[in-house]
Amino acid sequence: MDNKHKKISRNNKIRVGSFLVITFWILSISLSFANLEDNEQIDYKLIEEETIQTVSKATDMPKLNARIGLIFDRNSKTILYEKNGEKQVPMASTTKIMTSIVVLENANLSDIVTIDKKAAGTGGSRLGLKANDKITVHDLLYGLMLRSGNDAAVALAIHVGGSIEGFSNLMNKKAEEMGLINSHFITPHGLDEKQHYTTAYELACMADYALNIPKFKEIVSSKNYNITINGKSHIISNTNELLGNLNGVYGVKTGFTNGAGRCLVTACKRGDLDIITVVLGADTKKIRTSDSIKLIEYAYKTYKVVNLDEIVKAQFESWKQLNENRIYVNKGKTSDVKLTISKLEYPKMAIESNLIDKITVEFNSMYYLEAPVNENDVIGEAKIQIEGKTLAVLDVQVQKAIQKKEVFDYIMEFLKLVP
C-alpha cells in the first residue's frame, strides 16, 4: 500500500475513533440523568384493571408471582397478609428508606455537599453526579428517593458517616434501636452484598417509621421535583410506578438488582385504612406492579378499620357497673373500689369485615383484696378476641389507693356500734 493510501486509512481510523468517542460522550450525557433501575415500560392502567378483576373474583388471599409479599397495617403495626414475610433477603434500593432515616436524623438539610470521585463513580441507578459537583443534602435526598441515585446515596453516606462503612454502622445502630433483628446493612444504596439483607416485615417497619418524618413523607409523595446542581436546575421524576396511578398511593420506594429482583414498597391510604405493602423478588417490573396492586386491592376489599378503644370502653363500663361493688377489701379503710382499664397501644386496628361483629371482650378480676391497695394495682385483665384469636390484653386496675385500717379506725368503728 502506498503512502497516500496509508494516510487515508489512518485518517479514516481517526474519524471512526472520533465518532465513537463523540457517540459515547453523547450517550453518557443522555444517561447521566437516566434511571437504569426502572426502564421497563408498562401499561399501569391495564395492569390495574386486570388485577382488580382478579381480586374481585378471588375468595382467598391473593396469589403472588413474586417470591415475597406483605401487607402491613399502619394503625396497629400488624401484618394483614404475608408470603415469606420474615425471610431474610436482599432488598436492592429499598435500602434507601433506612439511608434517608439516618440522613434526616443526623444531617442539616441545607448543608452543601461537594461530590467526590467515589460517589461520582458509583454504578447502577444514578442521579448523574460528577466529581466536584455541589448540591445540598436536601436535594441529594430527592435524588436518592425519586431518582434512586446510588451516587447520591454514597455522597450522603460520606457526608454523614465519613465513609460508607461509617454510615453503614449508623444504619445498623438505627436498626437495632428500632428493634429490627433480621436486618443488616453494608451499603447505603443496596447494590448486592452477601451480608446486606432485611425482611419484608422489617422493611415495612422502616417505611412506617420513616413516613412519620414529615420531610421523608413529602419527598416520597412527590411525583417530580426540581433539584439544583452547581446552581443549575434539573427536573427529576419518581421511579415509583404506582404514585399518581393508583388511588391512595403516597410513596415509598422501588428497587432492582440481579440478586434482589424487582422490589417495591408502597404506602396507600383510603379512608382510615393506612397500609404499607412490600413486594420483593419479582422477576419483572410488571409482576411487582401487578402484585402490589393485588395486595392493595385485597386489603381494601377485605379489611375495615375498627376503633377497638371505643368497643373496649363501652363493654368495660357495662361490666364495671355489675362487678365493681362486688369487690371486697379486707382491712381497708373503705370498701368503695373504683376501677379503670389500661390503654390500648394501638386504639385502631384493621379487621376483616366479616369478623367485626365477632369481636369479644372477656373480663376477669379478683373480688377479694387485702389492704393496703395501691393506685394502679392490677387486679384483673380484659382480653380482646376474635374467634379465639387474642388481639390484645389490657390490665384492670384500681383507680384510687385504699389504705389499711389502723387502730384508731377500729376504735371509731366500735364506738359507732355502741348504743
Choosing from 76, 100, 125, 148, the catalytic residue is 148
Residue 211: C-alpha distances to residues 81, 219, 274 (Å): 21, 10, 11
Q: How many CB atoms lie within 10 A of CB 274?
A: 20
CB 66 within 8 A of CB 282: yes
Torsion of CA 30, 35, 38, 39, to 10 degrees: 0
- The grid coordinates listed for 284 are 419483572
96 annotated active-site: yes
Handedness of CA 237, 239, 240, 242 (dihedral sign): positive
Could you list the beta-strand ranges (E) of 194-338.
224-229, 232-237, 249-257, 261-270, 273-282, 303-307, 328-330
163 annotated active-site: no
301 annotated active-site: no
Q: C-alpha angle 74/78/82, rounded to 5°?
A: 110
Q: What single string gives the DSSP state of each residue in 369-399?
A: EES-B-TT-EEEEEEEEETTEEEEEEEEEES
CB 362 within 8 A of CB 303: no
Query: Phi, psi (5° rounding) for residue 29?
Result: -65, -45
Choosing from 76, 83, 93, 294, the catalytic residue is 93
CB 258 within 8 A of CB 47: no
Contacts of range 175-183, beta carbons closer than 8 Å, 24 or more positions apart: 175/98, 175/202, 178/205, 178/206, 178/209, 180/205, 180/206, 182/86, 182/88, 183/98
Choosing from 83, 96, 286, 348, the catalytic residue is 96
Question: Which residue, 153, 157, 99, is CA-closest to 124?
Answer: 153
**CA 333 to centroid of chain Cα atoms:** 52
- The grid coordinates listed for 277 are 405493602
Crossing angle of helices 96-106 and 164-177, rounded to 10°? 90
Strand 232-237 and strand 224-229: the pairing is antiparallel
Catalytic residues: 93, 96, 148
